[in-house]
Structure 1
């Protein structure tokens, strides 16, 4: 969440094709809305989420009405629209997300999500606005969606670190 940046935390919404399930990932409209808590698992088994390292999975830490998992994956609705949705399994070394440090002239530590497929370059995860909903999209936007992490209530203390720092 970056105050005054045009939106709040992340949430789950009806998917872009109009079905209720699986749920798509979207940003709340107001920067005072924290959104739903997320849990990150590193691909490596060292139990530390590091910036620029592959993630085993990203999932919402909340129950939903859908039978699908709340693990992030990418859905291709058509050739030009690629949305972050739920229903994934995680653990893929071919199709994965990363958290990368983003340099921005501010006192906040800002990060961005990227989506990586195979060995090609990773694409920024940004905002796609459809019918007033701020969906997380991939490849359809050039500007990354910048985030500032906030510890969720009643969660384990995990830390995002740079890939060159040792913990």
Structure 2
């Protein structure tokens, strides 16, 4: 009887430990995505017509909006910081901060965050978030990367706050605003990307 119990416990521990770490996110060449390393996020379909991700202020004031460029522009490089900064590899379905490299015209952080846009009537991705410091006050700063049939998508579904009551979980896709800018916002139609190391 003790042998059966020991084998059962060993099996449960083995299954639990293998599921505890999700698969790594891979770049376009099959290498692991690493924290703090610069990558371009380019559309998995339609590259040439649509480019990488950029910051736009358009006719509005700050914060700058995260948008998709037109044409074959690579956009701005991104870096990813996992919720546990000691982890060097970015993994699927885990909370990460997403950050543009370089300065912004708005003199604020380049960390992505979610903010409700009254004109669009959607939650849109802008910059000005806080890096790290997981909890209820920074909930809007955490995104996840999930696999699709043709690449990877960004998802807003933070799990950094276990006691927060209601957390939205939706895909991030391209939504056309009233100025014709292709902005990143919560959407039922996710956009897929490949990551290229800069």
- Quote the residue 2:78 is aligned against: 38
- Quote the residue 2:173 is aligned against: 126
Write out the 4+ residue segments of structure 1 that deviate beyond 6 Å after TM superposition: none
Residue 72 of structure 1 contacts residue 90 of structure 1 at CA under 8 Å; is this kept in 2? Answer: no
Structure with a larger share of its residues in strand: 1
RMSD value, Cα = 2.0
Residue correspondence of structure 1 range 130-145 to structure 2 within 5 A: 130=177, 131-138=179-186, 141-145=187-191
Structure 1 residue runs of 5 or longer lacking an equivalent are: 105-109, 153-167
- Quote the residue 2:144 is aligned against: 98
Residue correspondence of structure 1 range 1-167 to structure 2 within 5 A: 1=42, 2-4=44-46, 6-14=49-57, 18-19=60-61, 21-30=62-71, 32-44=72-84, 45-55=86-96, 57-78=97-118, 80-91=121-132, 92-94=134-136, 95=139, 96-104=142-150, 110-117=151-158, 118=164, 120=167, 122-130=169-177, 131-138=179-186, 141-152=187-198
Give the whole-Å Cα distance in 1 for the aligned partners of 2:195 and 2:89: 15
Give the whole-Å Cα distance in 2 for the aligned partners of 1:72 and 1:93: 16
Residue 45 of structure 2 contacts residue 192 of structure 2 at CA under 8 Å; is this kept in 1? Answer: no
Give the whole-Å Cα distance in 2 for the aligned partners of 1:24 and 1:112: 18
**What secondary structure, in the 3-state scheme, does the structure 2 residue paired with 1:145 have?**
coil
When Rg is computed on C-alpha atoms for both structures, the one with the higher figure is 2
TM (norm. structure 2) is 0.65
Q: CA deviation at 1:120?
A: 4.1
Matched positions, count? 141
Structure 2 residue runs of 5 or longer lacking an equivalent are: 1-41, 159-163
TM-aligned CA distance change 1:3 to 1:145, over 3 Å: closer
Structure with a larger share of its residues in helix: 2
TM (norm. structure 1) is 0.76
